[in-house]
Amino acid sequence: MKSLQSLYALLLILLISSCSQPEKITIEERADQLSKNEMQSVMEFLGHDLLEGRAPGTRGGDLAEIYVQSLCKYMDLEPGNNNSYLQPFVMKGFSNTGVMAEANGIKLNYIDDIVGSFTTEKEHIDLTADVVFVGFGIKTDIWNWDDYKDVDVKNKLVITRVNDPGFYNPDIFEGKTLTYFGRWTYHIEEAARRGAAGILLIHTDETAGYDWNVVKNSWSGEELYIESELENNLQFRGWMKESSFDKLLLSKGLNKNELYEKTKTNDFQPVELGFQAHISGDNSFRNVLNNNVVAHIQGQTDERIVISAHLDHLGMNSGKEGENIYNGTIDNGSAVAAMMMVAKILKEHQNELYYSVTILGCNSEESGLLGSKYYAQNTNRSNIIANINLESTPVWSAAKSIMGIGARFSDFEEIITKLAQKDGLGYSQFSLSNQGLFYRSDQFSFARYGVPAVWISAGEDEITGERNYTEFWGKDYHTVRDDFNPEWELEGMRQTIKYALLLIEELNTTKASVKWKANLPFPME
């Protein structure tokens, strides 16, 4: 009888064992198990010609929103904007035709000499204004710098250099590393605050960080703005080739190099150039309904981490012969794919999360971070402990290091370095940091409102010795060549996914809040 009872007990143990679930794998192991098909599928769809480059307010842009919303539903993520996955916001879209410009009797050809956008709701614009050169057009107490002094530029057209004085003097600002005050967005914001009627940014490849084709592709179509950016006197905002600026100066007997030399010190005074500029053209405008896609994974607390990636790209150029779709497969289809893989794995491990997680597919990044800016302005920021952004995620072989763009401004740098070292990887700075990339992607929309933020990515130093990521930014960024390639290895994407997950896991485990460091080189609102 005793032996029979022992047999029953053994059978019961075996039965329980056979019905038990297999041991759950870790978040890190799950990232390692992602198949190429899983990682490839999202970016392949977003980069397809049928989405026509995903410009906001177009059929392709709408399809991208619907697609990412459907993925959120399929993964059983909760809606992140009350009971909706969509956060609508209205933008103003402006398109110009027949633009003509001249200054001091010199014709400035649209596209060849200047590009830009009228930003007032009139069907025909006829702007005539005195022209003032304002150097770098920077006013900041951080470096005790003021290019405007007390000169009144209201109703005038200002011409300003891009970048900042540190580009020429390593002892001021941050040297060659572009600060927020060197970004074209800042120059426009400052001119608008001072009541200028228009602004032209002087373009050079070196100071802008990209060639004229990038400017032309980005600025010659419909330009989009949220309402808060239009509450000023600016009627025209755009770019001018440096060679065209030089012609204008020579026509007045002025020397460009002498003017430029004066801009390198805080003694610079704005220069009235002694002529007027005339810019005219037809202007069409419309309201563009746009949506951020927002989902939620509830943790043990309502405090949350926002992980973000932008959905949009440049659309298509119907006037361009041959290939005319700016598919944006890497910028930013690869990052959206990485974000959705992160969301998928976090949902599988939801019961392990201390912090909640918001998944933010933001729109209109290419128009000036508009979607993430709108989200940051209109969400409860008090319970956001951090933003982790994904941008143009590498799609090639694995890297020897992990990058945290903007991590140096906060505790993120030490955290990411420690996580990378556990796997024998290094921590690296992006070689293109001199182009101010921290200020050019959606993490900055959170940073400027005080939320610690970072853009995380596999590094440029591939184990194969190649530097495909560096080459992408110099060759294919914002061109029709940013197209899907099924031969991509996607191991750099896997690393990016993995370290975004490990970073979230580290914050959940330690429950530590990320702190900013002192003496930040950008203002907060």
Residues 139-157 pLDDT 10s: 999 999 999 999 999 999 9
- What is the mean predicted confidence (pLDDT) over 439-454? 97
**d(C-alpha 260, C-alpha 142), whole Å:** 22
Tell me what pLDDT residue 517 has.
Answer: 95
Across the range 476-493, mean pLDDT stands at: 96
Half-sphere exposure of 499 (CA within 13 A, CB side): 34
Percent over 90 (pLDDT), the chain: 86
Check if the beta carbon of residue 369 is closer than 8 Å to that of residue 441. Answer: yes
- 5: confidence class by pLDDT, cuts 50, 70, 90: low
CA pseudo-torsion sign 414, 417, 419, 424:
negative
Within its chain, how far is the Cα of 69 from the centroid?
21
Predicted confidence at residue 4, as pLDDT, reads: 44
What tens digit of pLDDT does each residue of 500-525 get? 999 999 999 999 889 999 989 898 98
Share of the chain above pLDDT 70, in %: 96
Alpha helices (H) in 220-325, listed in sequence order: 242-251, 256-262
Nearest-CA neighbor of 386 among 447, 330, 428?
Answer: 447
Structural domains present in the chain: 32-74+298-510 (3.40.630.10), 92-285 (3.50.30.30)
Structure tokens at 434: 């001199």
Structure tokens that stand for 306 in this block? 């926002």
Query: How confident is the model at residue 23, as a pLDDT?
Result: 62
- Paired with 226 in beta bridges are 91
* pLDDT score of 10 more than 50: no
